[in-house]
Amino acid sequence: MTHAEKQAAEMWQDIMTYSRTVENRMIECVDALEKRGYDVSEARRLIPAGWEAYNSGDYWALQKVIAMIWEALRRAPRMVNDDHKPDTWEELKRSWIRVESPMIFNVDEGNRAYRDKVYGAWYGKCIGCALGDPSAGWPSAKVRKERGWVGDYLQKPDTRNDDINYQIIVLHCIDEHGPGFTSRDLGYEWVQHLELDKTYTAERQALENLHRGLIPPYSARENNPFSDWIGAQMRGEVHGLIAPGNPELAAELAYRDAIISHVKEGVYGEVFNSVMVSLAFVTDDVGEIVNRALGYVPANSDFASVVRSTVAKCKEHGRWEDVLDWIDQAYGDLHWIHTFPNAAIVVMSLLLGGGDFSKSVSMAASCGWDCDCSTGQVGATVGALIGERAIPARWKEPIAGRLDTDVIGFSSIELDKLTDWTCNVARRLAQA
Distances (CA, A) of 94 to 229, 233, 291, 306, 314: 24, 21, 18, 21, 29
Q: How would you write 323-348 as a 3-class SS string?
A: HHHHHHHHHCCCCCCEHHHHHHHHHH
Query: What are the pLDDT tens digits along the chain (432 aa)?
Result: 888 888 888 889 876 555 567 778 899 999 999 999 999 999 999 999 999 999 999 999 999 999 999 999 999 999 988 889 999 999 999 999 876 777 778 999 889 999 999 999 999 999 999 999 999 999 999 999 999 999 999 999 999 999 999 999 999 999 999 999 999 999 999 999 999 989 999 999 999 999 999 999 999 999 999 999 999 999 999 999 999 999 999 999 999 999 999 999 999 999 999 999 999 999 999 999 999 999 999 999 999 999 999 999 999 999 999 999 999 999 999 999 999 999 999 999 999 999 999 999 999 999 999 999 999 999 999 999 999 999 999 999 999 999 999 999 999 999 999 999 999 999 999 998
Is 317 in contact with 421 (CB distance < 8 Å)?
no
Residue 83's pLDDT is what? 87
Report the distance separating Cα 8 and Cα 346, nearest Å. 35
Peptide bond into 86 cis (omega under 30): no
Report the distance separating Cα 22 and Cα 309, nearest Å. 31
Spell out a b/e string for 311-332, using b for 16 or more CB atoms within 10 Å of the CB, else e.
Answer: bebbeebeebeebbebbbebbe
Residue type, 263: V
Residue 412: strand, helix, or coil = strand
Residue 97's pLDDT is what? 81
For residue 412, list its beta bridge partners: 404
Residue 17's pLDDT is what? 54
Phi, psi of 135 (to 5 degrees): -110, 5
Residue 250: strand, helix, or coil = helix
Using alpha carbons, select from 261, 287, 262 the residue that is nearest to residue 381.
Answer: 287
Phi, psi of 15 (to 5 degrees): -105, 120
End-to-end C-alpha distance for the chain, whole angstroms: 54
Q: How many CA atoms lie within 13 A of 407 on its CB side?
A: 23
Please report the domains of the chain, with CATH numbers, ordered by start residue.
3-74 (no CATH), 89-431 (1.10.4080.10)
pTM above 0.85, yes or no: yes
**How far does Cα 124 stand from its chain's mean position?**
15
Report the distance separating Cα 176 and Cα 306, nearest Å. 37
Report the distance separating Cα 248 and Cα 203, nearest Å. 25
Report the distance separating Cα 328 and Cα 389, nearest Å. 35
Residue 103's pLDDT is what? 79
